[in-house]
Amino acid sequence: MLDAREAGSLVCQILGLLIWLGLSIAMITMGALYLHNCSGEPNIPIYLIVAGVFILVLIITYPLKTVSLKFATLDGIIGLFLFAWLIAGSVWVFRNYQDYLAGRDIGCDHRLYLFAFWILIVQYIFMGLTIISSVLYCVFCGISSLKECATQCPPVRRQEC
C-alpha cells in the first residue's frame, strides 16, 4: 500500500505525463497542419513536430526506465537532444519576435508562431521549476540525512556518515 507521500508523488507524475502527452500531440498536430505555412522560418513547424515526437518517445519509455538501464540511458540521450533542440527552436522562434510585435510580416501563420512561442515559454518555465525543485530536494534531503546520521550513528562512527 502506498503512503500519502508516495501516492502524492505518483499523482504528480501521472498528471505531468498527461500534460506533456497533450502538449506533444498538440505540437505534432500544429507542426503538421502548418508545415508549409511558414516560409519566413520553415524550421518552426519542423521544430514542433520533432520535439513532439521525441517527447512522446520519452513518455512511452518512462515506465521502462525501472526495468532496464538501457531505457534510462536512452532517456538521457533523448533529454540531451531535446535540450539542444529547445535551443535551436528558441533561435528560430525568438529571432522573429520583434518583427512579429511590430506587426511586420514574418512569413509565418500567426497561430503557428504564437503556439511555438508559448510552447517554448512553457518549456523554459518547466525547466526552471525542475531545477528549483531539484535543488530544494537536495537541500532538504541533505539536511534530513544529516539529522538522521546525528541521531542514529554511534558517537564514534558519526564522522563516517
pLDDT tens digits, one per residue of 21-39: 999 999 999 999 999 999 9
φ, ψ dihedrals at 40, nearest 5°: -70, -35
pLDDT tens digits, one per residue of 106-153: 999 999 999 999 999 999 999 999 899 888 888 877 766 656 655 555
pLDDT tens digits, one per residue of 51-101: 999 999 999 888 887 777 787 888 889 999 999 999 999 999 999 999 988
* 64 DSSP 8-state letter: G
- Residue 157 has a pLDDT of 47
Which residue is it, cell 507521500? 5
